[in-house]
Amino acid sequence: GDSVTQTEGLVTLTEGLPVMLNCTYQTIYSNPFLFWYVHYLNESPRLLLKSSTDNKRTEHQGFHATLHKSSSSFHLQKSSAQLSDSALYYCALSVNVGDNSKLIWGLGTSLVVNP
């Protein structure tokens, strides 16, 4: 079935180092839509970025991700981590199934950025 895998439950970094949060997916449908949502403590989860275009880099708030259908990946990256990036990050996959749509969530990766 359709699934999303976020291999790291917890990523701990020192401020200034690059961030890479892994996301891979499985689906039988040919036009997946991939999302990254971010959940800061005591706030609402919100969309960080999304993409359905193969090999096109999508950027928002210093983060970027590129959907690679060949490897079924949508890794989230940032060149330099900031303390304020500490949050829970969810990767999600959406596919159209007939007239409906399915949204499948990864388990989330908690990013902790230390001084």
Q: Which residues bind other proteins (CB under 8 A)?
A: 9, 31-33, 35, 37, 42-47, 50, 52, 90, 94-96, 100-101, 103, 105-108
Distance in Å, CB of 60 to other proteins, minimum: 12
Report, in Å, the least distance between residue 95 CB and other proteins: 6
CB 35, min distance to other proteins, A: 8
Percent helix / strand / coil, the chain, rounded to 5: 5, 55, 45
Q: Which is nearer to other proteins, 14 or 42 (CB)?
A: 42
DSSP state of 72: T
Q: 45 vs 55, 79, 80, 95, CA distance in Å?
A: 26, 23, 22, 21
Distance CA 6, CA 28 (A): 19
Identity of the residue, 37 or 74, whose beta carbon is nearer to other proteins in the bound complex: 37
